[in-house]
């Protein structure tokens, strides 16, 4: 059963064909990695799926219904959460508050209820807080709850951002270079966190340059080059794929 199915997706910026007729699927419960050289169109593909950019053509099916062209907040409400290549935490808020914002789509209090601070609003706030603390405990960062999010160490900020995405209770989690800027130990921790997230039943699609992380945790790997799909297979098969080797290492002299 495929959770995400992308069909014939294209996007160009002026003369540059950033994503060119890309089709693939992400099976439910899988970790799928998206790799490719710089400028291959990985982040553009992420932005198309999460609604930041509208596609020129093609379709994106999520859980059986089309989501292409929807605004990002609608896509988030459908159950697709994401993190960013350059960490985008909310400044002047604690780590806990950042994660509490992630509960937005699972809470209701609007302007009037908020101003009147109704009993249901207070109860809802307690629940949001409780759930956010549980997520921080799951990620092993409960001790950072009250710290200002943007003043944390880089690796901790990545985990807080992951926590904010998890607070949306997504069915599909998009991770844009989750290990970028992390050292080897932190990368290992991130890899095990992503595996544990998957074990919770959340499907993961990630862009990553760190090949050890990609090969260790992925069930499937999609390879892009110049906006086109050149391979879509298991990690073992990708490692032996001559086209992928040529793209990454250049032509063999012989």
Partner 1 sequence: MKARHLSVAVFAFVIVAIQLATHFSGRAYYLTQFTMAAYYSLLIIGLCMLIGYAGQISLGHAGFFAIGGYVSAFLTTHDFSAQKSSALVSFLAKAGVLGIRPDLYGGELLTFQPWPACLIAVVAAVTIAAIIGGPVLKLRGHYLAMATLGFGIIVYRIVLATTALGAADGISDVPAFTLLPGIQVTGRSSERVMNYYIAWGVVTLSMVLLLNLIHSRVGRALASIHGAEDAAEATGIATATYKLKTFVLSAFFASLAGVLLTHYNGGIGPSEASVMKSVRYVAIVAIGGMANLWGALSMSLVLNYLSLRGYFGTYDDAVFGGILILIMLFAPDGLLRRQVFSDFKRLFSSGSGQGEA
Residues lying near partner 1 in the complex (CB under 8 A) are found at: 50, 52, 71-73, 76-77, 81-82, 84, 88-93, 97, 100-102, 104-105, 107-111, 113-117, 121, 124-125, 128, 164-165, 168
Nearer to partner 1, 74 or 246 (CB): 74
CB of 158 to partner 1, least distance (A): 13
Q: What is residue 184's three-state secondary structure? A: helix
Nearer to partner 1, 65 or 242 (CB): 65
Dist CA 128 CA 202 (whole Å): 20
Nearer to partner 1, 16 or 115 (CB): 115
CB of 91 to partner 1, least distance (A): 5
Handedness of CA 207, 213, 217, 220 (dihedral sign): positive
Dist CA 116 CA 107 (whole Å): 16
Nearer to partner 1, 83 or 225 (CB): 83
Residue among 3, 60, 56 at smallest CA distance from 29: 3
CB of 124 to partner 1, least distance (A): 7
Nearer to partner 1, 174 or 247 (CB): 174
CB of 184 to partner 1, least distance (A): 27
CB of 174 to partner 1, least distance (A): 9
Residue among 54, 90, 97 at smallest CA distance from 72: 54
Dist CA 104 CA 81 (whole Å): 12
Query: Residue 148: beta bridge partners?
Result: 94
């Amino acid at each position: 059963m495929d959770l995400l199915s992308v069909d014939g997706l294209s996007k160009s910026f002026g003369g540059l064909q950033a994503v060119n007729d890309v089709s693939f699927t992400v099976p439910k419960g899988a970790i799928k990695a998206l790799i490719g050289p710089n400028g291959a169109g990985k982040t553009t593909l992420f932005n198309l799926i999460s609604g930041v950019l509208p596609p020129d053509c093609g379709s994106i099916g999520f859980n059986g219904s089309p989501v292409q062209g929807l605004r990002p907040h609608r896509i988030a409400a459908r159950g697709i959460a994401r993190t960013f290549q350059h960490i985008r935490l909310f400044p002047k808020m604690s780590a806990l508050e950042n994660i509490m914002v992630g509960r937005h789509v699972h809470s209701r209090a609007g302007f009037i209820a908020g101003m009147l601070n109704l009993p249901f609003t207070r109860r809802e706030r307690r629940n949001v807080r409780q759930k956010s603390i549980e997520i921080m405990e799951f990620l092993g960062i409960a001790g950072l709850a009250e710290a200002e999010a943007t003043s944390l160490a880089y690796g901790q900020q990545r985990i807080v951002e992951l926590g904010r995405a998890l607070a949306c209770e997504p069915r599909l989690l998009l991770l844009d270079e989750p290990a970028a800027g992390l050292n080897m130990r932190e990368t290992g921790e991130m890899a095990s966190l992503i595996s544990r997230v998957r074990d919770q039943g959340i499907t993961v699609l990630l862009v990553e340059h760190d090949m050890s992380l990609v090969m260790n945790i992925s069930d499937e790997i999609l390879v892009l080059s110049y906006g086109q799909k050149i391979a879509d297979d298991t990690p073992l098969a990708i490692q032996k794929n001559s086209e992928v080797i040529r793209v990454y290492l250049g032509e063999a002299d012989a």
